[in-house]
Homo-oligomer: A and B are copies of this chain.
């Protein structure tokens, strides 16, 4: 049974394909896509090792790509799909981008931004709709397997 086009599962699966590309390059397997009007306008995966740049996370690369594509300062009409909960840096970038919606695959209890929420201040933009747990199991297991192999 396929995943129906246009659903959150569909676009998350496209982000997952980016995570697989990262895995093939021995990068921490995280992928992201940015969608506007049901169209993917940016795809990216983690490239911190390839670029020797600790800021080259999937979300940052996808955002910069989307900004370039749209020529826009804000991504208020866009949705970002990312396989793993963004870190503090990426969540901060999502704030500035003012995404309309952010969809997260698996939680990241160690480095995810949500551990920083104080209750008074939120990291994401107040206008950003947040959806979590889409294709959570596969998005989580690709990361778990990567670190298991790395340490094994």
Chain B residues with CB below 8 A from A121, complex form: 115-116
Which of A15-23, A49-57, A77-85, A139-147 lies at the interface with chain B?
Answer: A49-57
Q: Give which listed residue, B60, B63, B87, B116, contacts A116 with CB less than 8 A.
A: B116
A52 is contacted by which of B71, B90, B95, B98 (Cβ under 8 Å)? B71
Copies in the complex: 2
Interface string of A90-115 (1 = CB under 8 A from B): 11110111100000000000000101
A54 contacts which chain B residues (CB < 8 A)?
63, 67, 73-74, 93, 96-98
| Chain B CB within 8 A of A150 CB | no
Complex formed: what's the CA distance from A14 to B93 in Å?
Answer: 26
Enumerate chain B residues within 8 angstroms of A95, measured Cβ to Cβ: 87-89
Residue of B60, B71, B88, B91 touching A55 (CB-CB under 8 A): B60
6 A-B contact pairs sorted by A residue (CB < 8 Å): A51-B67, A53-B67, A54-B73, A88-B88, A88-B95, A116-B123
